[in-house]
Structure 1
Amino acid sequence: MKIAKTLFLLLSIALVPVASIANTITKEEKSALIDFYQQTNGKEWITPWDLEAPIATWKGVFLKDGHVVGLKLFNNNLKGTIPNSIGNLAHLKHLNLAFNNLTGVLPKELTSLKELRVLKLEMNRIKGALPKEVGNLTNLVELSMFNNFLSGEIPESIAQLKQLKILNLSSNNLRGSIPSGFGNLTKLVKLGLFENNLEGSLPADLGKLVKLQELVLANNDLAGEIPAEFAQLSNLKILQIQNNKFNAYTGLEAMNTKHFLVFDTDSKDLSPYKNLDVQTLPTRMADTKFVDDNK
């Protein structure tokens, strides 16, 4: 009889749907999702959530081991602000809310998501300064917030994001100088600060970014000399520094121009740079792909 009861119990456990187990998340995380839905006008999303349906069926919600690890709602007509309760999604690794109509400022609680690897908020209407605590997101590989209304200075703490490969803060209202600590971001492949109000000289330690393939600094108020250390950027394929106030281009002299796909500069007098055949290089604005790569 005991053996029969044991077999019955094992069979009962085996028959529990896997989906129901996967749908079980903490009340705190579920509450955070519902709060997010309500604060971003969920009923008018292109694909709204059915709050009575299993969470695993909610568009853009990715679960693993009973936790929300991804929230990907690219181009879904989100309106409103990101609520402070976003910080309760402690296991979130991927947040993609790009190409929506989000407004307001970034909540400080966002910087408590220590496991976050991808943060994509481009093409929204987010304003205010980047939180100074953004450096807490030490697992970030990509931070993309181009085409918003960000203001203030670039936080010094960004220099702590040593896993970062993509940083795009272009087309905002950022001011001040480029922090010298950017030289610590040695894994960077793409750096975009195009079309802001940045000023001052370029930090020499940008030359440490030897993996950099794209550097877009055009349309700012940057000035001074292009540091000689730029010659170390041997993997650079796209360089755009036009529409600034640079008065010397020393750092470009030793660069191998054969590998460039895009090369744009304000320099009209190229005679000091006889080894720099800029005239033969193609010039265009670096493309920004407005697609959902589901990254």
Structure 2
Amino acid sequence: MMLKTKFRNVKIILLLGAFALVSHSVALAEVGQDDKEALMSLYNSTNGAEWTKTWDLSQPVSTWYGVKVVNDKVVEINLFRNNLQGVLPESIGKLTHLVQLNLAFNGISGEIPRTMVQLNELKVLRLEMNRIKGELPQDMGKLKKLEELTVFNNFLSGNIPASIGEITNLKVLNISSNNLKGAIPNSLGNLSKLEVLGLFENTLDGSIPSELGKLGKLKELVLANNQLGGEIPMEFGQLASLEILQIQNNKFNSFKSLEMMDSKQFLVFDYDKKNINPNFKTVDFNNTRMADTKFEDDNNE
């Protein structure tokens, strides 16, 4: 009888041990192979060993700095101001569950991988204040869920992709301080949720599309320091939510349409004073400022 009891106790102990091992394994469940390989590529191609806060590769991915894992899927990477030096790998497109990618304020060079447009769940893409060159992917419009796209203060060239006008969830689009050229796409007028549009300090030319007058939720429009010309569209009078308008240092030949706007709505209004219609007098010019993109980031300190 005692022998049976001992055997039963040993069996229970073995079962409990096996259960503990399974529980521990579940608690430290790793992400899928594609996700892990993409993260390792990012680490290796941006000199991960020298990051300000680096990853302990011997630990589970869920413990790595700036990486958020939900249901064994990588959904967020936030390596803001973390001394990333190098290029973004093509394999970043494997992170198909990624919702937020913040690599701003680093030393990233090279081009934006074309695979970036495969990140179908992405809502926030922040690459500002790096050394990224080349063109924006022409099929950026595939990122249908994107709400925030900021790549200001880089060395991007080429045209603004017309397909960006297909990202109808966009609220913030800031591609200022690059080397972008050509006309502002008419398709940007389709971004009905857009609140911030920053195209400051490029070499954009042509007229401002009248379609931008359809952006009823637009609060900030910064077009300064380009080669834009023609007249200010009369449709700007429909921009009832606009609080910040900066259009100085361009080649406009008329500001007459600005008379249709309620000047009291502006917190900031910058323009070329010598050309402004003298009847447009109600703005408090003492409160205006020059456009700039040297932003501080209070959410990532």
Q: TM-score scaled to structure 2, two decimals?
A: 0.90
Q: C-alpha displacement at 1:53, in angstroms?
A: 1.0
For 1:12, which of 10, 19, 27 is the aligned residue?
A: 19
The list of structure 1 runs, each at least 4 consecutive aligned residues, that deviate by more than 6 angstroms after superposition, is: none
- Equivalent residue number for residue 151 of structure 1: 157
- Equivalent residue number for residue 137 of structure 2: 131
Q: C-alpha displacement at 1:48, in angstroms?
A: 0.9
Q: C-alpha displacement at 1:279, in angstroms?
A: 5.6
- Establish whether residue 283 from structure 1 lines up as the match of residue 288 from structure 2: yes
C-alpha distance in 1 between matches for 2:188 and 2:286? 28
For 2:267, which of 258, 261, 267 is the aligned residue?
A: 261
- Residues 73-222 of structure 1 aligned to structure 2 (within 5 Å): 73-222=79-228
Structure 1 unaligned regions, length at least 5: none
Q: C-alpha displacement at 1:54, in angstroms?
A: 1.6
C-alpha distance in 2 between matches for 1:206 and 1:86? 33
The alpha-carbon distance between structure 1 residues 252 and 68, as it changes in their structure 2 partners (threshold 3 A), is same
Amino acid at match of 1:121: L
Residue pair 2:28, 2:60 contacting (<8 A) in 1 also: no
C-alpha distance in 2 between matches for 1:47 and 1:23? 23
- Equivalent residue number for residue 58 of structure 1: 64
- Equivalent residue number for residue 44 of structure 2: 38
- Equivalent residue number for residue 238 of structure 1: 244
Q: C-alpha displacement at 1:28, in angstroms?
A: 1.4
Amino acid at match of 2:287: P
Residue pair 2:255, 2:275 contacting (<8 A) in 1 also: no
Amino acid at match of 2:139: E
Structure 2 unaligned regions, length at least 5: 1-7
Q: RMSD of the TM alignment (CA)?
A: 2.3
C-alpha distance in 2 between matches for 1:67 and 1:22? 13
Residue pair 2:181, 2:204 contacting (<8 A) in 1 also: yes
Q: C-alpha displacement at 1:107, in angstroms?
A: 0.6
Look at both structures and tell me which one has the larger radius of gyration over its CA atoms. Answer: 2
Q: TM-score scaled to structure 1, two decimals?
A: 0.92
Residue pair 1:23, 1:63 contacting (<8 A) in 2 also: no
The alpha-carbon distance between structure 1 residues 282 and 28, as it changes in their structure 2 partners (threshold 3 A), is same
Q: C-alpha displacement at 1:281, in angstroms?
A: 5.4
For 1:252, which of 250, 253, 258 is the aligned residue?
A: 258
C-alpha distance in 1 between matches for 2:24 and 2:220? 48
